Amino acid sequence: MPELATFALFAYRHEAFVAEAIRSVAKQTYRPLELVITDDASPDETRRKIDEALRDFPADIPVIRINHPQNQGIPGVINAAVRQASGRVIVFGAGDDVSEPERVARTMRVFADPRVAFAHTAASVIDEEGELVRGREGAGHRDAELSLAGMLLGAGAPILGATCAYRADVFREFAELPPQILREDVILPIRGLILGEGRFIARKLVRYRTHAGNLHSPAPAQSSAEMVRRNLRFADDREASCAQLGADIAKARADGRILPDELDLYLRQEAAYSAVEQRLLRTKSMFVRAGQVALAWSLRRIGTVKAMKLFTLFVTPFLYAPVLKAWIRLSERKRQIRHG
């Protein structure tokens, strides 16, 4: 008999999009399936839109509603949803995205291998109106097996949280996410690859929506000042992630797991970057900030790329947007050349 899958759908200020997201869950071909849907105290009409969309929801997909009276943030809603989930595999979805009908079925197919603890899929990119965004069609990655060392070295397709799925053990074996975490699609895949193997599904099974409210995807027209403000929001996330990852590594080794050296190197590099970043946040003088970045780089606490990023963010923030956009264009060009 097929295993129960949980679709965890997270909504916050998604009044314009959440009904379509719910309809995409209703169209999933896989059974047995349950839906856990959370509203994180949205100040708009998101909750009412959820109510309306669920009136015609399929009876064979049980629904668990979580309406937070106060905003919990990303880790809070994930922790709450996982506590309510009954599935052996938990598929994540955002309230502003759309999942293709075969997403859960194809995902569960890779989880039929008991070694797999984490999987993610390719995605197409759509705008607020649901139209495909030209130039964001995605490069030609193939289905792939994922390792922890490979992920930390940047091999394979980038991981987008809204395309991820995890075996429930990823949440049961480790502590709940701390409240400062914003990038769950960093720490949770690492946890999954500590426990087992990962898979990338090259088929575009999620339509990822870009709009002004995205936390991780600032619009191309945004100013350097706005981009810098958004980027610096991740400073506390980085510090908390380093602390939690250190605890996760210690627990895994105490449980007898053998971890790659790349994981320790990654943690050291992230912790060093975070330490410099926190010092820069406490420093007002641009001159002193420049000296701190130069010192950290000269002592090899941070590499050249990270030093350039910190210098641009904290010393010459007006250059951040043009530098970032140029880097994105260069990366896209290299990716297109690499994949023909």
Domain identity same for 204 and 230: no
Q: Is residue 216 part of a domain?
A: no
pLDDT of residue 289: 95
Q: Is residue 219 part of a domain?
A: no
Q: Is residue 159 part of a domain?
A: yes
Domain identity same for 181 and 54: yes
Domain identity same for 159 and 300: no
Q: Is residue 171 part of a domain?
A: yes
Q: Is residue 84 part of a domain?
A: yes
Domain identity same for 331 and 233: yes
Domain identity same for 245 and 308: yes
Domain identity same for 145 and 259: no
CATH number at residue 78: 3.90.550.10
Domain identity same for 56 and 176: yes
pLDDT of residue 322: 72
Q: How many CB atoms lie within 10 A of CB 118?
A: 28
Which residues does 298 contact at the CB level (< 8 Å), separation at least 6? none
- What single string gives the DSSP state of each residue in 164-229? EEEETHHHHSSPPPPTT---HHHHHHHHHHHHSEEEEEEEEEEEEEP-TT-SS---TT--HHHHHH
Domain identity same for 229 and 198: no
Report which of 325, 299, 300 is spatially closest to residue 312, judged by C-alpha positions.
Answer: 325
Q: Which domain holds residue 75?
A: 5-209
At which of 175, 209, 243 does a domain end?
209
pTM (2 decimals)? 0.88
At which of 176, 209, 242 does a domain end?
209
pLDDT of residue 222: 60
- What single string gives the DSSP state of each residue in 111-165? HTSTTEEEEEEEEEEE-TTSPBPTT-S------EEE-HHHHHTT-SSPP-GGGEE
Domain identity same for 239 and 205: no
Half-sphere exposure of 226 (CA within 13 A, CB side): 12
Kindly state the helix (H) or strand (E) to which residue 53 belongs, with its residue range: helix 46-54
Kindly state the tokens that stand for 325: 């956009």
Domain identity same for 228 and 122: no
- Please give the tally of structural domains in the chain: 2
Residue 51's φ and ψ, nearest 5 degrees, are -55, -45
Domain identity same for 155 and 245: no
> What type of residue is 188?
L
**Residue positions counted in the chain:** 340
At which of 157, 182, 209 does a domain end?
209
Domain identity same for 151 and 197: yes
Q: What is the pLDDT along the chain (340 residues), one digit of tens a residue?
A: 899 999 999 999 999 999 999 999 999 999 999 999 999 999 999 999 999 999 999 999 999 999 999 999 999 999 999 999 999 999 999 999 999 999 999 999 999 999 999 999 999 999 998 899 865 555 567 999 999 999 998 888 889 999 999 999 999 999 999 999 999 999 999 999 999 999 999 999 999 998 765 654 544 556 667 767 777 888 999 999 999 999 999 999 999 999 999 999 999 999 999 999 999 999 999 999 999 999 999 999 999 999 998 998 898 887 766 766 676 666 666 655 655 5
CA 35 to chain CA mean position, Å: 20
CA 93 to chain CA mean position, Å: 11
Q: Is residue 268 part of a domain?
A: yes
Q: Is residue 308 part of a domain?
A: yes
Q: Is residue 218 part of a domain?
A: no
